């Protein structure tokens, strides 16, 4: 006889955790930091897994079977998504990254086919061995492969030779530990289920550990700007080498020095379409951090800070090549229009670029 679907304290709590996961996903997406999108979808994937578990525990999966396959979509997505995020942390790109998600896409298609069958009561003749593609051993192998791939990636690219990279190194190791917690929790279920003492409470505890692992990753990523500003876990992550300088100031100085070095070598200010987000992506900072570094160290906003470098470059061109037209100069150094260039130039030199050029000729 089939049991009546019902919720208990544990399943009610897990359902709330699902809602919180969806809420965290929305927050991470609305932050519009593309580097964090893999973690946003990782949290969403786990919310789908947990929701499928809740439906199974409460016996609602028999009445509403639409969500049974959510767990497999999520389980085959978690490894690739976490791997993709670690690539983003190290500013690495990989060819054909879409291939990593093929097992997940397979289950998405399969889920849509299941929905068609449930909705229209029309059984499709699917020539697929469901027990084979949903086998827990296959899932464990998939999760472990990505765990090893992530560890290898970190070992290969993790060079903690300055404050920024030291923080990144600690940050990545914390995330790997949380992912490992998730993997070990999943494996432990299939080990412990073979013992007589195993019951639903153990199942709940394992799922609780998995929930802690995934949602803590999501929370940490949400707090990432504070982590990289030195405002979060500062004492845990790094000691202060200069005791007369607080932790945040020490980091801000290093960030600023890295920024200046990049600007002077690469001259990104010559890009007429340069925006705060573009520069942040190029040097591997969050937009929040880059804005804070510029404001604190230069006392200027982003536009004025970049325009100062454009004006310095314009001065060089005006002094070195008298045949260089004003129009060519302002465009080549990064200004979009003559009015903005003339206004900024006159505020600094109390003369127009043409007058500055004439003075240079007379010297």
SS3 (DSSP) at 243: coil
Query: Quick one: CA dihedral 197, 201, 207, 208, positive or negative?
Result: negative
Long-range contacts of 336-341 (CB under 8 A, 24+ apart): 336/272, 341/310, 341/314
The dihedral over CA atoms of 304, 305, 311, 312, expressed in degrees to the nearest 10, equals 160
- The reply to whether 169 and 60 lie within a common domain is yes
CA distance 186 to 190: 7
Q: Which of 31-45, 110-124, 238-252, 298-312 has the lowest mean pLDDT?
A: 238-252
Q: Which of 121-130, 164-173, 251-260 has the lowest mean pLDDT?
A: 121-130
- The reply to whether 294 and 191 lie within a common domain is no
Answer whether residue 283 is part of any domain. yes
| pTM over the 0.75 mark | no
- The reply to whether 217 and 263 lie within a common domain is no
Answer whether residue 151 is part of any domain. yes
- The reply to whether 87 and 147 lie within a common domain is yes
SS3 (DSSP) at 94: coil
- The reply to whether 296 and 216 lie within a common domain is no
How many domains are contained in the chain?
2
List the CATH number of the domain containing 68: 1.20.1070.10
Look up the domain containing 150 and give its range. 9-222
- The reply to whether 34 and 180 lie within a common domain is yes
* Average of per-residue pLDDT across 213-233: 59
pLDDT digits (tens, 9 = 90+) for 84-136: 988 887 878 777 788 999 999 999 998 888 888 777 776 666 656 677 778 88
Asked whether the beta carbons of 170 and 202 are under 8 A apart, the reply is no
Answer whether residue 123 is part of any domain. yes
Percent of the chain with pLDDT over 90: 16
- The reply to whether 94 and 208 lie within a common domain is yes
């Amino acid at each position: 006889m089939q049991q009546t679907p019902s919720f208990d304290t544990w399943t009610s709590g897990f359902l709330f955790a699902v809602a919180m996961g969806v809420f965290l996903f929305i927050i991470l997406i609305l932050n519009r930091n593309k580097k964090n999108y893999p973690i946003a979808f990782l949290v969403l994937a786990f919310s789908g897994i947990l929701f499928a578990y809740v439906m199974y525990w409460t016996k609602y999966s028999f009445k509403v079977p639409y969500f049974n396959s959510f767990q497999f979509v999520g389980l085959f997505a978690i490894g690739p998504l976490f791997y993709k995020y670690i690539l983003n942390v190290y500013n690495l790109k990989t060819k054909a990254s879409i291939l990593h998600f093929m097992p997940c896409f397979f289950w998405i298609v399969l889920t849509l086919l299941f929905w068609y069958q449930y909705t229209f009561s029309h059984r499709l003749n699917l020539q697929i061995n469901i027990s084979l593609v949903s086998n827990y051993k296959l899932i464990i192998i998939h999760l472990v492969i990505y765990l090893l791939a992530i560890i290898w990636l970190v070992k290969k690219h993790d060079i903690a030779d300055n404050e920024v990279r030291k923080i990144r190194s600690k940050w990545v190791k914390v995330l790997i530990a949380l992912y490992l917690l998730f993997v070990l929790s999943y494996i432990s279920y299939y080990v412990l289920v073979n013992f007589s003492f195993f019951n639903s409470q153990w199942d709940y505890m394992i799922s609780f550990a998995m929930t802690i692992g995934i949602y803590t990753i999501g929370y940490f990523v949400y707090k990432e700007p504070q982590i990289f500003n030195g405002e979060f876990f500062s004492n845990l992550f790094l000691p202060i080498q200069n005791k007369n300088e607080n932790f945040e100031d020490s980091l801000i100085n290093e960030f600023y020095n890295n920024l200046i070095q990049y600007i002077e070598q690469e001259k990104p200010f010559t890009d007429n379409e340069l925006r705060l987000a573009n520069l942040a992506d190029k040097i591997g900072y969050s937009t929040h951090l880059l804005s804070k570094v510029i404001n604190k160290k230069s006392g200027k906003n982003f536009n004025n800070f970049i325009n100062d470098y454009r004006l310095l470059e314009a001065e060089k061109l005006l002094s070195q090549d008298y045949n260089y037209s004003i129009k060519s100069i302002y465009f080549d150094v990064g200004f979009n229009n003559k009015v903005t260039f003339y206004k900024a130039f006159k505020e600094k030199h109390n003369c127009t670029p043409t007058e500055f050029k004439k003075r240079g000729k007379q010297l």
